[in-house]
Chains A and B, each alone.
Chain A
């Protein structure tokens, strides 16, 4: 059951424990200044560890959406880390947050999008626009790491459910891996946000989300191309937490991320419901 070939281990235990253990280690080694600022990098490393456990390292240059995802996350992580080391709040960080999702969406989906402008091309453009805007918003609120984490956690769980229902198990696992890594990071940041959601974490998360969204929309035959559209709302619900829950105490901070998470559940449930309702009729009733 608990072997490296088990999907719950590949996409649950490994990213969760990697994030949980390494966040503390980075903080310990780097101290309260640089260590705290770089702790978010661990989220990206946990995602890559989950990918490795599921697929191993794909050949370079990668061919096909799934193989490209590894290098997309790796490149976004390196770019994010570089920005974190130079100046987290500077233009480089903003550029990583802004471009990580569009880069992933275009690398995976541009060819297919040009081939079939509707609906594939439109889906790619939506992912490009949403992930760019989400990156911009998340970057501006990077200190609200627990609220950002809560929104990414719910978003990824919804993507995993949609992928799983559509017989795309590996996409479900990758989304689950990011959810678990975010969970491990959140355990350090809830109720109090200790570590900023830095550019390495943002870059890796948005790259994987953008890439997976395009992969699911374009290359999973059972999934209705625009069924994931409600998920586009989720990144923009983070500021609502601060409006609904005032105060800076520990209880308020903890409650705020819970409220954000609950708000995100609504569009997440809508997407899952749409995918469920638009699934083609099963050609067989038995599991395998």
Chain B
């Protein structure tokens, strides 16, 4: 092989490598730094806050190509926590989340529309009470990096928010008193090992 052909082959290989798209990395949701919060009007007098304490799932994300991102979240409905035990028991009952019949709330993204430098709209299928509806949530990308004390773990963080109508999922109890629009705020961290 001549020097010329070697250089041509090396150049072709380099071109081929740059043509390969960057692949999104897969992250696992870090339950200890992820919160699925919600707010709902209580009779129009105040706003009640609550959260789910147990979430799991995955995020597939490449900062160079955020439109290809994907997210899948599973929430343990029985982990609902409104800082009031009796109310939480009521929320777990068939009146609201019916956790014995429908133990999981899931979200599976179907498309991502980038709307700014670090913002996007995530559309996906939200399944709650056995009913699946397409919802669009606003996402803010907070950043990516390693922990200051652990450079073998990469972490990525997002804030995700949106509003859903609970009656669309068949949660009809208390309509007229308890708000039907639920504000959702998910603070999400996901990690992957760099080893």
Contact = CB atoms under 8 A, between A and B. Distances in A.
- In which size bucket is the chain A interface? 20 to 34
A220 interface: yes
Contacts of A63: 129-131, 170
A169 B85 CA distance: 15
A219 interface: yes
Interface string B76-91: 0010000011111110
Contact of B175 (A56, A67, A283): A56
Given A284-B84, A288-B84, A64 B173 contact: no
A215 interface: yes
B72 interface: no
B176 A283 contact: no
Interface residues of B, number: 27
Interface in A221-278: 221-222
A66 B176 contact: no
B101 A65 contact: yes
Nearest to B90: A167
B173 A221 contact: no
A166 B93 contact: yes
Query: What's the dominant secondary structure at chain A's contact region?
Result: loop
Nearest to B96: A170
A286 B88 CA distance: 13
B92 interface: yes
A169 B93 CA distance: 9
Given A4-B176, A170-B173, A221-B100, A288 B94 contact: no
Interface string B157-185: 00000000000001011111100000000
B151 interface: no
A262 B99 CA distance: 37
Interface string A175-197: 00000000000000000000000
B86 A112 contact: no
B52 interface: no
A118 interface: no
Given A168-B93, A169-B95, A218 B100 contact: yes
Interface in A35-61: 54-56, 58-59
Nearest to A5: B176
Given A168-B94, A284-B86, A64 B176 contact: no
24 contacts: A3-B176, A55-B175, A56-B172, A56-B175, A64-B130, A64-B170, A65-B98, A66-B94, A66-B98, A66-B170, A66-B173, A67-B170, A166-B93, A167-B86, A167-B90, A168-B90, A168-B93, A170-B95, A218-B100, A219-B93, A221-B78, A222-B89, A282-B86, A288-B86
Interface of A: 3-5, 54-56, 58-59, 62-67, 112, 166-171, 215, 218-222, 282-284, 286-288
Given A4-B176, A65-B98, A220-B93, 10 more contacts: A62-B170, A64-B130, A112-B101, A168-B94, A219-B98, A220-B94, A221-B99, A284-B87, A286-B86, A288-B87
